[in-house]
């Protein structure tokens, strides 16, 4: 049986305090609650209770690249960061472009039990940008895929992008576009500007992102489909999204924690932990993204968690892989960049990191702390501040750009479907979580 848990004295996102009673995998009651006999009590005085975080953009690497991450280890990293639902990108081996592969990823997530793992289907076969993948088969499979992306590669062919948008609109799916004109970014290594010239690195122009977004919002408007822009990174991109929303186009956009805090100046170190796609941008871009988060132009924050083995990062900059891990640090970075600077409050954090990504990804009933909802809850301590360390990483790779950096806050507890996956800052052992997940599954089936 799943334990009954009473969380006492938690601060809800709106600022009020409440006890939260969890039993049978759901939130039973909010208010002032007497502890039921035999229940586990968690003292949440001083902790903010957020609906379990939802990440619409992660790379879990399995199948095919298990040396970097697996669905299990990526889910453990998610639990450490307060995430209870994660969407896994399609750039695996084999590519997640068939019903069989997405169902495999779904099953691996269910077996691990740390989070709801929803596979993202590839837009094109093999991510090659030449033919549409088995979109319909994936949408109607057991995985019920609703988000499709070639992330890591741009769907650069205009006609193919139009057809993909038309296809997913038939079942209210969404195309999540990696906005990068491939011709404008050939051999690019960092943001294009005076610093790239100074460092002798091939520049990555902002227009390579902005031009694709401009094309795609017009295509989405033309066919009436939903479009989501991954890891938006420039001030110009913000303006395109703002214009599109003013026209009523069905577009949403995400920013990553690293694009809200870090700038291109870090590339001076030639430390490949700071090599990412899209690249770290200027101070002006960071400030524009923060403002767009605050005014609602950018809808969500997503990590683009991209693990790599050490040999892919501990090498010359030109040879290093693009990408950063980000699940474990995301909420602390959001607090540091947005909450501590008074740009957003905890209600906004709940919207940006839970309710809205859940809605975009089609997670029914997720993103709220209320009686009757699934007991996905994150308890965060905003009063702490510490230097982020390799011991804070729970996944398989250590390519974090935050190592050695002071960050605010810490996740103390994560509950997924009513059981603990993070207990007082420690990831719960895999066998315990798997047993809890099996027990919950049996309860749902009435066994």
**Cβ–Cβ < 8 Å for 27, 370:** yes
Write the pLDDT tens digit of every residue in 15-29: 999 999 999 999 999
Which of 304, 376, 392, 423 is catalytic? The answer is 304
Average pLDDT of the chain, as a whole number: 97
Annotated binding site for substrate: 59-61, 91, 277, 308, 322-323
CATH code of the domain made up of 5-48+374-444:
2.30.40.10
Assign 447 a pLDDT band (cuts: 50, 70, 90).
Answer: very low
**What are the tokens at 120?**
């993202």
Handedness of CA 91, 95, 98, 99 (dihedral sign): negative
Annotated binding site: 57, 59-61, 91, 151, 178, 231, 277, 304, 308, 322-323
- Separation between Cα atoms, residue 233 and residue 253, nearest integer Å: 10
CATH of 53-361, one of 3.20.20.140, 3.40.50.40, 3.30.360.10, 3.40.1190.20: 3.20.20.140
Assign 3 a pLDDT band (cuts: 50, 70, 90).
Answer: confident
- End-to-end alpha carbon distance in the chain: 11
Residue whose structure tokens are 């214009």: 243
Annotated binding site for Zn(2+): 57, 59, 151, 178, 231, 304
Assign 446 a pLDDT band (cuts: 50, 70, 90).
Answer: low
Q: How long a stretch of residues is the chain?
A: 447
Nearest by Cα to 413 from 404, 400, 422: 422
In this prediction, residue 445 carries a pLDDT of: 52
Annotated catalytic, 304?
yes
Write the pLDDT tens digit of every residue in 151-204: 999 999 999 999 999 999 999 999 999 999 999 999 999 999 999 999 999 999
Write the pLDDT tens digit of every residue in 313-337: 999 999 999 999 999 999 999 999 9
CB proximity list for 212: less than 8 A, separation 6 or greater = 154, 156, 177, 179, 180, 181
CB atoms within 10 A of CB 145: 32
Return the percentage of the chain with pLDDT > 90, whole number: 97
Assign 444 a pLDDT band (cuts: 50, 70, 90).
Answer: low
**Cβ–Cβ < 8 Å for 42, 33:** no
Does the pLDDT value for residue 442 go beyond 70? no
Nearest by Cα to 146 from 354, 357, 302: 357
Write the pLDDT tens digit of every residue in 291-309: 999 999 999 999 999 999 9
Portions of the chain given CATH number 3.20.20.140: 53-361
Does the pLDDT value for residue 441 go beyond 90? no
Four-CA torsion 223, 119, 130, 164, nearest 10 degrees: -10
Does the pLDDT value for residue 1 go beyond 60? no
> Angle at CA 404, nearest 5°, toward 50 and 338?
35
In this prediction, residue 174 carries a pLDDT of: 98
Write the pLDDT tens digit of every residue in 66-104: 999 999 999 999 999 999 999 999 999 999 999 999 999
**Cβ–Cβ < 8 Å for 362, 85:** no
Portions of the chain given CATH number 2.30.40.10: 5-48+374-444
What are the residues facing 387 on neighbouring strands?
A: 406
Write the pLDDT tens digit of every residue in 111-131: 999 999 999 999 999 999 999
- Separation between Cα atoms, residue 30 and residue 112, nearest integer Å: 29
**Cβ–Cβ < 8 Å for 352, 344:** yes
């Amino acid at each position: 049986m799943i334990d009954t848990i009473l969380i006492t004295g938690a601060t809800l996102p709106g600022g009020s305090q409440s006890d939260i009673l969890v039993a049978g995998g759901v939130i039973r009651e909010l208010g002032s609650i007497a502890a039921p006999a035999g229940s586990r009590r968690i003292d949440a005085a001083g902790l903010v209770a957020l609906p379990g975080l939802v990440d619409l953009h992660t790379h879990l690497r399995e199948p095919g690249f298990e040396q970097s991450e697996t669905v299990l280890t990526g889910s453990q990293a998610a639990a450490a960061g307060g995430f209870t639902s994660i969407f896994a990108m399609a750039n695996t081996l084999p590519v997640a472009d068939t019903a069989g592969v997405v169902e495999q990823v779904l099953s691996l997530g269910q077996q691990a039990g740390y989070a709801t793992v929803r596979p993202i289907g590839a837009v094109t076969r093999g991510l090659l940008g030449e033919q549409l993948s088995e979109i319909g088969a994936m949408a109607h499979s057991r995985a019920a895929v609703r988000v499709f992306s070639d992330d890591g590669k741009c769907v650069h062919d205009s006609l193919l992008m139009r057809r993909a948008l038309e296809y997913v609109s038939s079942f209210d799916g969404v195309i999540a576009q990696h906005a990068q004109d491939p011709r404008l970014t050939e051999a690019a290594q960092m943001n294009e500007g005076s610093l790239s010239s100074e460092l002798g690195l091939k520049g990555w122009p902002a227009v390579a992102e902005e031009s694709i977004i401009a094309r795609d919002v017009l295509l989405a408007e033309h066919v009436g489909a939903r479009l989501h822009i991954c890891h938006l990174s420039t001030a110009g991109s913000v303006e395109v999204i703002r214009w599109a929303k003013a026209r009523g186009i069905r577009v949403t956009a995400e920013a990553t924690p690293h694009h809200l805090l870090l700038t291109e100046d870090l590339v001076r170190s030639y430390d490949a932990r700071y090599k990412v796609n899209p690249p770290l941008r200027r101070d002006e871009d960071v400030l524009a993204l923060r403002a767009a988060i605050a005014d609602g132009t950018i809808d969500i924050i997503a990590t683009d968690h991209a693990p790599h083995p050490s040999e892919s990062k501990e090498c010359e900059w030109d040879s290093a892989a693009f990408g950063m891990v980000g699940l474990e640090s995301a909420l602390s970075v959001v607090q540091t960049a947005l909450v501590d600077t008074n740009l957003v409050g905890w209600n906004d954090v709940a919207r940006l990191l839970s309710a809205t990504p859940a809605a975009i990804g089609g997670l029914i009933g997720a993103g709220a702390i209320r009686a009757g909802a699934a007991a996905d809850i994150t308890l965060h301590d905003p009063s702490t501040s510490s230097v982020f360390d390799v011991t804070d990483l729970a996944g398989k790779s250590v390519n974090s750009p935050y190592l050695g950096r002071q960050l605010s806050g810490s996740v103390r507890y994560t509950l997924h479907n009513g059981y603990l996956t993070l207990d007082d800052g420690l990831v719960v052992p895999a066998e315990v979580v798997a047993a809890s997940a099996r027990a919950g599954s049996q309860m749902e089936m009435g066994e």
